[in-house]
């Protein structure tokens, strides 16, 4: 396939990975307060598959993608704090493309110790972890956290970050090979397999249960998560890898011991330039100090975005997945 010099991955209908099509997309010149970036790496996230399948409704035609990194090619009128040639990372809609034009206020200059690929691999995921661990309910030293999918894109950052904060981490994963990786990331104990998770967690905690659950699995994990919590524990559900979780009646939270449940979205926590900058500073500092090591498990050509989605949905990926323009 001969690719255009500038192209995007666009979908005109929802469905399987084959709805992702390569289409010519000339770069859009930056308007006032915007910059044009030649992308060098694009992050792939599970939410992209929700947009593709229609689980999360988006206007069609639609270019997926929520994060990327690259080099500024042009700045728009009024932009004085950024200049061509500068490396940046960003969150935004429509990053499955060779070029991205977006607000200068959301562009995050990259420090020397963070590469383009590292930034694209962890920006959305790392800020999500920042939100989960430090914003919604700050995880305290000595607390016990239950982490589902500890070696996935978010989990592989959440596990060491939680350990850095001084928590005990009990991880739940599907195989012994993933369990070994979870332990290497800092998990104190690992439950392998999805049978009797709550019973095993109770055994590991002397019957008390955990202080907080970080659940990205959804449908098949929800009840086990709720049953693993101590009274007044927090159920933080942030993903649907196994499908959307069933509705939970408020009485279920009462029966579990006055449990607290929340379903956060990162963009409600990074909705100002100040909060976005604060999140990125924290994330980049942990990368530069070695607390977090971005794990890029897979790289695909941008033109093979469909292949990246197939791999992600197979459950066989580990770490972050990148598209390379």
* Span 51-109, pLDDT tens digits: 999 999 999 999 999 999 999 999 999 999 999 999 999 999 999 999 999 999 999 99
Domain count, the chain: 2
Residue 199 has pLDDT above 90, yes or no: yes
Among 174, 157, 187, which residue's Cα sits nearest to residue 45?
157
Q: What is the DSSP string of 114-126?
A: S-HHHHHHHHHHH
Residue 209 domain boundaries: 140-263
* 228, 285: one domain: no
* 118, 169: one domain: no
| 308 against 244, higher pLDDT | 308
- Looking at every residue in the chain, the average pLDDT score rounds to 95
* 274, 257: one domain: no
* 239, 170: one domain: yes
Residue 15 sits in a domain whose CATH number is: 3.90.180.10
Among 232, 263, 294, identify where a domain stops: 263
- pLDDT at site 59: 96
Phi, psi of 297, rounded to the nearest 5 degrees: -85, -30
* 186, 278: one domain: no
Residue appearing with tokens 């209908």: 13
Quick one: pLDDT band at residue 230, thresholds 50, 70, 90? very high
* 216, 314: one domain: no
- pLDDT at site 1: 64
* Inter-axis angle of helices 176-185 and 155-164, nearest 10: 40
* 276, 320: one domain: yes
Residue 6 has pLDDT above 90, yes or no: yes
* 13, 86: one domain: yes
Residue 106 lies in a domain: yes
Q: pTM for the whole thing?
A: 0.86
Residue 319 has pLDDT above 80, yes or no: no
Specify the long-range contacts of residues 246-250, CB closer than 8 Å, at least 24 apart: 246/219, 246/222, 248/222
Residue 57 φ/ψ region, left for φ over 0, alpha for ψ in the -120 to 50 degree band, beta for the rest: beta
CB atoms within 10 A of CB 242: 17
Residue 131 lies in a domain: no
* Span 255-276, pLDDT tens digits: 999 999 999 999 899 999 899 9
Cα dist from 150 to 97, 129, 154, 170, 177, whole Å:
29, 12, 8, 9, 12
* Bridge pairing between strands 144-148 and 168-173: parallel
- pLDDT at site 72: 98
* 151, 259: one domain: yes
* Span 212-227, pLDDT tens digits: 999 999 888 999 999 9
229 and 160 Cβ atoms separated by less than 8 Å:
no
Radius of gyration of the chain, Cα coordinates, nearest whole angstrom: 20
Residue range 115-126: average pLDDT?
94
Residue 243 has pLDDT above 70, yes or no: yes
Residue 13 lies in a domain: yes
66 and 92 Cβ atoms separated by less than 8 Å:
yes
User: Hey, what are 288's tokens?
Assistant: 């530069």
Cα dist from 285 to 90, 112, 114, 227, 321, whole Å:
16, 11, 9, 36, 22
- pLDDT at site 318: 74
Phi, psi of 37, rounded to the nearest 5 degrees: -120, 135
Residue 115 has pLDDT above 80, yes or no: yes
* Span 123-180, pLDDT tens digits: 988 999 999 999 999 999 999 999 999 998 899 999 999 999 999 999 999 999 999 9
* 20, 101: one domain: yes
* 118, 161: one domain: no
Residue range 219-246: average pLDDT?
92
Among 247, 263, 279, identify where a domain stops: 263
Residue 204 sits in a domain whose CATH number is: 3.40.50.720
Residue 191 has pLDDT above 90, yes or no: yes
């Amino acid at each position: 396939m001969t690719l255009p010099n500038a192209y995007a991955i666009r979908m005109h209908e929802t469905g399987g990975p084959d709805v992702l099509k390569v289409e010519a997309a000339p770069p859009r010149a930056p308007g006032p307060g915007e910059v044009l970036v030649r992308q060098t790496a694009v992050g792939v996230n599970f939410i992209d598959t929700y947009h593709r399948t229609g689980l999360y409704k988006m206007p069609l035609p639609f270019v997926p993608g929520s994060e990327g990194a690259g080099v500024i090619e042009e700045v728009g009128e009024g932009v004085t704090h950024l200049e061509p040639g500068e490396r940046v990372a960003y969150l935004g809609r429509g990053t499955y493309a060779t070029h991205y034009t977006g607000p200068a206020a959301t562009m995050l200059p990259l420090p020397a110790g963070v590469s383009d690929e590292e930034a694209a691999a962890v920006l959305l995921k790392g800020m999500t972890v920042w939100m989960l661990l430090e914003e919604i309910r700050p995880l305290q030293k000595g607390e016990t956290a239950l982490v589902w999918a500890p070696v996935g894109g978010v989990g592989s950052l959440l596990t060491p970050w939680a350990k850095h904060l001084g928590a005990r981490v009990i991880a739940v994963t599907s195989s012994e090979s993933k369990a070994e990786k979870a332990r290497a990331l800092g998990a104190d104990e690992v439950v392998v397999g999805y049978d009797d998770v709550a019973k095993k967690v109770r055994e590991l905690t002397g019957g008390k249960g955990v202080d907080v659950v970080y659940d990205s699995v959804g449908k098949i994990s929800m009840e086990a998560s709720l049953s693993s919590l101590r009274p007044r524990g927090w159920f933080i559900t942030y993903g649907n890898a196994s499908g959307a979780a069933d509705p939970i009646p408020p009485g279920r939270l009462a029966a579990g011991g006055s449990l607290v449940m929340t379903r956060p979205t990162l963009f409600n926590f990074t909705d100002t330039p100040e909060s976005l900058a604060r999140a990125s500073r924290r994330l980049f500092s942990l990368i530069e100090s070695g607390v977090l090591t971005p794990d890029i498990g897979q790289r695909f050509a941008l033109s093979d975005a469909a292949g990246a989605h197939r791999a992600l949905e197979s459950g066989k990926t580990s770490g972050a997945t990148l598209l390379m323009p």
